[in-house]
Amino acid sequence: MNIQGGSGRIFEVDDTDAVVWTYLNQSSTPLFKARRYQKFLFPGDATLSAAVGVQVDLDLVGGITFDSRDYFLLMRVVPGPPSLQSVVLNLGTLDASVLASFTLDTLGPLPAAAVGRNVEIAWGTRGPRDFLSDVVVVPILP
Choosing among 2.60.40.10, 3.30.450.90, 3.40.190.10, 3.40.630.10, the CATH entry for 41-141 is 2.60.40.10
d(C-alpha 58, C-alpha 31), whole Å: 36
pLDDT digits (tens, 9 = 90+) for 72-89: 988 888 887 665 567 888
Query: What confidence category does residue 142 fall into, taking pLDDT thresholds of 50, 70 and 90?
Result: very high
pLDDT digits (tens, 9 = 90+) for 55-65: 888 888 888 88
Q: Taking residues 50-54, report their average pLDDT.
A: 87
pLDDT digits (tens, 9 = 90+) for 91-139: 888 888 888 888 888 888 988 888 999 888 888 899 888 888 888 888 9
- Residue 127's pLDDT is what? 85
Closest to 51 (Cα-Cα) out of 138, 117, 114, 103: 114
Listed by start position, the domains of the chain span 1-28, 41-141
- Whole-angstrom distance between the N-terminal and C-terminal Cα of the chain? 33
Whether 50 and 141 have beta carbons less than 8 Å apart is answered as yes
